[in-house]
Amino acid sequence: MPKTIIKRVQDGTEEFDQEVEEVIRLGRYSEGVKRPMKVKMRSQVAVEEIMARKGKLADDVDHKEIWIKRDMSLDEREKEKAVRREAMEKIE
């Protein structure tokens, strides 16, 4: 599945789907629950190009519910969570 999504965001001449080194399913299995995947790429260039084009998925009806995010440390995730919580409070 990750290679299919990478093909959606790459240009026709690129083959970043061939740069996938490892795919890891995160979290514990629970029936009917979608879990995130961590995709390790062979080159940083491929990562940067995919991240730059990840907005293409928003226009793709089949993959609209899929998000691509960079890997973050625990500290970075906590900071992002706090910023989101603060933004939600301002909206309310």
Average pLDDT over every residue of 33-59: 86
pLDDT of residue 65: 81
Confidence of residue 4 (pLDDT cuts 50, 70, 90): confident
Distance CA 40, CA 21 (A): 5
Q: Is the pLDDT of residue 53 over 80?
A: yes
Q: What angle do CA 56, 82, 44 make, to 5 degrees?
A: 40
DSSP notation for 43-71: -HHHHHHHHHHTTHHHH-GGGTT------
Q: Is the pLDDT of residue 68 over 70?
A: yes
The model's pTM:
0.66
Higher-pLDDT residue of 78, 71: 78
Q: Is the pLDDT of residue 36 over 70?
A: yes
